[in-house]
Amino acid sequence: MMNLNVLQMAICSALFIVLALLCMFGLNNLLLLCLRVKMCRRDGVNVPANIEVWPYVTVQVATYNEGIIVGRLLESCLRLNYPADKIEIIVVDDSSDETISILQEYERRYYPRIKVIHRSERKGYKAGALNEALKHSKGDYILILDADSIPEPDLLRKTIPLFLADEKLGFVQVKPGYINAESSWLTRTLALVNDWFAVFLQSTLSRCGMMISFLGHGGVFRRRALEDIGGWMSDTIAEDIDAAYRIQLKGWRAVFFEGAESLEEVPPSYYSAVKRFKRHIKGPIQNLIKHAKSIIRHGGKSAIEKFEALIQLAYPLVYPLGLACIILAILMYLFVSGPALDQFWLTAPGFIDSLLLLLMFPYAAFIVSLIPSLLVVVIALLFAVIILPESKATLKRRYLELVFGVALIWNDNIINCLMPIIEIIIGKEGEWIPTERALSKGKKNSREERLREGLIRIVASILVLIALAVILFLNFSLDSFGIIIPSILWLYSAHLIIRG
């Protein structure tokens, strides 16, 4: 094919390793998709038809400067269809704004059904608040909600029977829904991205008897399971994932239950989503470091269960791998003959490699082998439009926006992952920052913060464009135009962030 010197071989070998690792994650997602279709397991347990005596339940909420949305939350909790003498609502508030006065007014009106505990210091952040709530809770079962949650009225009547039918069931995660998903193309995209992890992955893993995560809200816990693991811990920024894994490693079962739903908000602005993405990147990696050894050594888990538990925690590593893919692709097109690379990608082996890459990790395929990837996509679209005329409906602007939005977010997380990974390396804990709410009157993101984040993306985009210009001048290659994709996406994400 091509005669490569030592440097060229080293670059191509490194790129191959990075692509192989990315494809491992992509292949795992394809396998989970097949398992999802196969429906290898139901939602899990036999539910008793009639329950004469309902157990006591405590609803726990941790709040921090959540403004008027706590009123919406408490009103929805008061509408829960559950015996009034068997439920209590405990709110642990760390706020420094008007939230505490709103909560105290609800407590005055509904005590002892609603109890408010105010902490002057945010010790342990959300984990510390939930531990404080647990000290004052009477319930045998604990429903964890966020300030923006709106649980459906029958949530407890649908989930509590699952525990009564299975003494080893530690927690039940219900399906999340969204209050504001239809506000814009961006909120629709954020809802879709959240559903990938929160619904598709968790429900599939649950049906297959694998370990699942707790999403931080909309989960019902058996109190004995929480006490068995010593409560919530604040040594990671994702106390929800940490508690879920510790419970399951202790031998308790967990179920994702699609028969009940709790609504939440998706971030109302792109910059608020960026801050949440950083937390969602850092938390799983911290838990991977914390739990990897326990998972590998666990005697009660099969090899596939251990692998799936580890790869789910490791998934945020695809973003630094994505950055490595971009850098190595630039180096490859700088130091390897451009015409030779273009010729290789159009040979049978090159086209097959590109097709496999496109199936398992499309982002990397367009970066590394643009021309064959575009040919495959164009052929597939023509086939769909000509052979399957009804598929034209899927090409509406709404669906194209979602495709663009998913690519935008994935690409942007390449930059979002940098600071969380640096913080993990240097051992910096970081502050637990709640997601901005649509109706919250809390402090808005400062313009200086948004300008800084936007500038990082602009600089990264300029560096990639300079590299492309050098490639085109010294070693012209049509396939090298693929590296312009992250540049364009970073410029648009910078626009969204700075615009606010």
In a domain, 274, yes or no: no
pLDDT at 90: 97
The residue annotated as part of the active site, out of 94, 166, 195, 353, is 94
Residues 29 and 110 in one domain: no
148 is catalytic: no
Q: In whole angstroms, how far apart are CA 499 and each of 190, 274, 403, 447, 454?
A: 18, 14, 22, 9, 9
pLDDT at 43: 46
Residues 135 and 175 in one domain: yes
In a domain, 106, yes or no: yes
Residues 410 and 444 in one domain: yes
The CB density around residue 226, as the number of other CB atoms within 10 Å, is: 24
User: Parallel, antiparallel, or unpaired: how do β-strands 169-178 and 141-145 relate?
Assistant: unpaired
Distance CA 114, CA 97 (A): 20
pLDDT at 183: 87
pLDDT at 138: 95
Residues 72 and 185 in one domain: yes
pLDDT in tens, 376-388: 888 877 776 676 6
Residues 226 and 109 in one domain: yes
Distance CA 211, CA 202 (A): 9
The residue to which tokens 């695809």 are assigned: 318
Domain, as residue range, for 68? 57-266
In a domain, 79, yes or no: yes
Structure tokens at 419: 């600071």
Structure tokens at 74: 């408490």
Contact 216, 242 (CB under 8 A): no
pLDDT in tens, 132-185: 999 999 999 999 999 999 999 999 999 999 999 999 999 999 999 999 988 899
In a domain, 234, yes or no: yes
In a domain, 49, yes or no: no
Per-residue pLDDT at 273 exceeds 90: yes
pLDDT in tens, 325-341: 999 999 999 999 999 99
Residues 130 and 224 in one domain: yes
- The partner residues of 150 in beta bridges, in order of sequence, read 263
Which domain CATH number covers 142? Answer: 3.90.550.10
Comparing C-alpha atoms, which of 207, 209, 243, 210 is closest to residue 228?
243
Residues 168 and 82 in one domain: yes
Q: Give the count of domains, the chain.
A: 2
pLDDT in tens, 65-122: 887 789 999 999 999 999 999 999 999 999 888 899 999 999 999 999 999 999 988 8
Contact 211, 205 (CB under 8 A): yes
pLDDT at 367: 95
In a domain, 288, yes or no: no
Residues 11 and 120 in one domain: no
Residues 61 and 20 in one domain: no
Question: Taking residues 1-26, what's their average pLDDT?
Answer: 91
The residue annotated as part of the active site, out of 146, 240, 412, 479, is 240
Residues 237 and 353 in one domain: no
In a domain, 277, yes or no: no
Residues 27 and 124 in one domain: no
- CA 22 from chain centre, in angstroms, equals 17
Per-residue pLDDT at 454 exceeds 70: yes
Distance CA 224, CA 226 (A): 5
Instruction: Show Cβ contacts of residue 491 under 8 Å, excluding neighbours closer than 6 positions.
Output: 457, 458, 461
pLDDT band for 17, please (50, 70, 90 cuts). Answer: very high
Residues 24 and 91 in one domain: no
In a domain, 287, yes or no: no
166 is catalytic: no
